[in-house]
Amino acid sequence: MASSSFSHTPITVDKVETKYRKIITQIPVPESIPFIERLYKLESHSMHGQMPIVWDRAVGFQVYDKWGNKWIDFTSTIFVTNSGHGNPRIIHALENVLKKPLLHTYTYLSEERIEYLEYLIENTPIQFQKAFLLSAGTETTEVALKLMRLNGEKYSPNKKVVICFEGNWHGRTLGAQMMSGNPAQKSWMGYHDPNIIHLPFPYPWIMESEKEPRKFFRDSLNAVCAEKGIDPQKDVCGIMMETFQGWGAIFYPKEFVHEVETYTKEVNALLAFDEMQAGFGRTGKLFGYMNYEVEPDILCCGKGVSSSLPLSLVLGSAEIMDLPDIGSMSSTHSANPMVCAAGLANLKAILEDGLLENSRRFGLLFHVELNKLLNLFPDHIYLIQGKGLIAAMIFKSKAGEPLSKLCDKISELCLQRGLLVVHTGRDSIKLAPPLVITKDALLEGISVLKESIKDAIQVI
Ligand SMILES: Cc1ncc(COP(=O)(O)O)c(C=O)c1O
């Protein structure tokens, strides 16, 4: 989420009226300012700094406010609405549950929960035999931590070390923050579990000189183990990987991930992927890890799982998922009938309405077009990363300085022109349209982005 704030002073902007975008007021809309002020008085400061736009409704790949403006959405509300805003399958499924009504069940069974789990397990790779449903993404990475350690206990009571990567991110609860590789976010904790260790991430700029991804993994692993006195065979129970590093949509080299997988087998450890941003079609495949051609033991999913209501889940083999005793993993809103109905309708939409193919096909076009921007603005755009309908543009000066202010300005200009982009608050802009986007809307969005980059460079 952005760390900087956007101006709340309405300014007059050029009117926009195309098939997909409409801007007919000052931006931010003057009438929206009292809403923002009311919210800021009541809500934690950590929720401030968001784009000054009050959503009224959202359909497909478009977002509308109450004052006649409409935007093309390149955010999917931060990688959630993969099957599109207000997907008709989801609305219909929710209406059916609402009509019953059956809004909550928790420890009691419901047909919605059974139907969803059956479809999910039938339609995910064979190694995933069971699932555990939760509400937030951070809960799933906590569960993965627990499962890796419970599995390690089968070999030895001390097999507790979980290997993670610098710069990766896994959520805001304690275990998830410890596994995340961002030291500044962890200073409040005052304690770090010595059995959670971090290895360097194989960034493209590091691999330019390192050249051998497999060796890079082994060398950094051996160095950290030697420094901390870790015996991999005896101590390591798992490896947690964000499928791509979020802020920059940065994928690992394929051989690096193959070596990680080989290593987990050598030392009887489990391989977990955090698929929060990568899963459910975002990268052109059902799961992002499939781009590496490996087989993880544990998969943590959230966001695009439902494209709507709070649903997250962990997938694994029956052997792994049955490690915790009855009642030792639970969450009050887990397996709620509403979210299960939404999850089922969402997965059906992704698999049966051609959305994987959209993500793959339009993803290719998306990256070709974005790379043209890299050629147009070589002094400001350093890298374009991503796959399918997820991309990050990393902005740096020729001297290598991060251009965060430029990213703020580009995001603001896009907002004023009818395009929503993901403002990361650092030197990247992320782009993730719903998978239902059409070709002409995708191209229109990219042309708005191009003009906004050009104009932002002039004023920053
Ligand atoms: C890679 C990754 N892991 C975990 C999380 C945490 O998910 P949630 O915010 O649903 O707890 C996020 C959320 O942004 C994420 O991007």
What is the per-residue burial (b if ≥16 Cβ within 10 Å, else e) of 163-175?
A: bbbebbbbbeeeb
Ligand 1 centroid to residue 137 C-alpha, Å: 5
Q: Write down which residue in 352, 385, 412 finishes a domain.
A: 352
Q: Where are the beta strands (DSSP E) in 68-109?
A: 70-73
Q: Are residues 166 and 300 in the same domain?
A: yes
CB 144 less than 6 A from any atom of ligand 1 = no
DSSP per-residue string spanning 334-373:
TT-HHHHHHHHHHHHHHHHTTHHHHHHHHHHHHHHHHHHH
Task: Determine the residue type at 2.
Answer: A
CB 336 less than 6 A from any atom of ligand 1 = no
- Pair 223, 147: CB distance under 8 Å: no
CB 170 less than 6 A from any atom of ligand 1 = yes
Ligand 1 centroid to residue 276 C-alpha, Å: 6
Residue 82 lies in a domain: no
- Determine which helix (DSSP H) or strand (DSSP E) holds 389, and give its type and residue range: none
Ligand 1 centroid to residue 310 C-alpha, Å: 12
Q: Are residues 200 and 160 in the same domain?
A: yes
**325, two tokens:** 């005793």
Q: Given the CA of residue 312, which atom of ligand 1 is nearest to it?
A: 10
pLDDT recorded at residue 156: 95
Q: Are residues 272 and 170 in the same domain?
A: yes
Residue 19 lies in a domain: yes
Residue 439 lies in a domain: no
Q: Are residues 59 and 124 in the same domain?
A: no
Residue 7: give the domain boundaries. 1-69
Give Rg (Cα) of the chain: 22
Residue 372 lies in a domain: no
Residues in the chain: 460
Q: Are residues 44 and 108 in the same domain?
A: no
Q: Are residues 178 and 116 in the same domain?
A: yes
Q: What percent of the chain shows pLDDT beyond 90?
A: 95
Q: How many domains does the chain have?
A: 2
- Pair 396, 428: CB distance under 8 Å: no
Asked if residue 249 has pLDDT above 50, the reply is yes
CB 175 less than 6 A from any atom of ligand 1 = no
Q: Are residues 52 and 151 in the same domain?
A: no
Asked if residue 393 has pLDDT above 60, the reply is yes
**What number is the average pLDDT over the span 114-123?**
98
Residue 183 lies in a domain: yes
CB 70 less than 6 A from any atom of ligand 1 = no
Ligand 1 centroid to residue 173 C-alpha, Å: 10
CB 247 less than 6 A from any atom of ligand 1 = no
Q: Write down which residue in 331, 352, 373 finishes a domain.
A: 352
Substitution candidate for ligand 1 out of 47, 277, 309, 339 with most atoms within 8 A of CB: 277
- For residue 175, give the nearest of 154, 153, 195, 155 by alpha carbon: 195
Cα gap 337→285, rounded to integer Å: 27
- Pair 183, 352: CB distance under 8 Å: no
Cis-peptide, bond into residue 101, ω within 30° of zero: yes
Residue-wise pLDDT tens digits, 297-308: 999 999 999 999
CATH number for the domain spanning 113: value is 3.40.640.10
- Pair 310, 286: CB distance under 8 Å: no
Q: Are residues 227 and 140 in the same domain?
A: yes
- Determine which helix (DSSP H) or strand (DSSP E) holds 47, and give its type and residue range: none
Residue-wise pLDDT tens digits, 328-347: 999 999 899 999 999 999 99
CB 277 less than 6 A from any atom of ligand 1 = yes
Residue-wise pLDDT tens digits, 87-113: 999 999 999 999 999 999 988 999 999
pLDDT recorded at residue 5: 73
pLDDT recorded at residue 2: 44
**What number is the average pLDDT over the span 208-234?**
95
Ligand 1 centroid to residue 138 C-alpha, Å: 6
Residue 199 lies in a domain: yes
Q: Are residues 50 and 155 in the same domain?
A: no
State the pLDDT confidence band at 376, using cuts at 50, 70 and 90: very high
Cα gap 139→301, rounded to integer Å: 10
Q: Are residues 325 and 234 in the same domain?
A: yes
SS3 185: helix
Residue 102 lies in a domain: yes
Q: Where are the beta strands (DSSP E) in 229-291?
A: 236-242, 244-245, 250-251, 270-274
Q: Are residues 133 and 248 in the same domain?
A: yes
Residue-wise pLDDT tens digits, 40-49: 999 999 998 8
Ligand 1 centroid to residue 198 C-alpha, Å: 18
Ligand 1 centroid to residue 189 C-alpha, Å: 19
Residue-wise pLDDT tens digits, 251-261: 999 999 999 99
Residue-wise pLDDT tens digits, 170-192: 999 999 999 999 999 999 999 99
Q: Are residues 61 and 184 in the same domain?
A: no
Cβ neighbour number for residue 454 with a 10 Å cutoff: 15
CB 167 less than 6 A from any atom of ligand 1 = no
Q: What percent of the chain shows pLDDT beyond 70?
A: 99
CB 242 less than 6 A from any atom of ligand 1 = yes
Residue 83 lies in a domain: no
CB 137 less than 6 A from any atom of ligand 1 = yes
pLDDT recorded at residue 460: 86
Q: Write down which residue in 352, 377, 392 finishes a domain.
A: 352
pLDDT recorded at residue 1: 43
Ligand 1 centroid to residue 396 C-alpha, Å: 26
Asked if residue 352 has pLDDT above 50, the reply is yes
Mean pLDDT of the chain: 96
117's CB contacts (< 8 A; 6+ apart) are 131, 133, 340
**321, two tokens:** 């998922």
Residue-wise pLDDT tens digits, 424-450: 888 999 999 999 999 999 999 999 999
**What number is the average pLDDT over the span 142-166?**
97
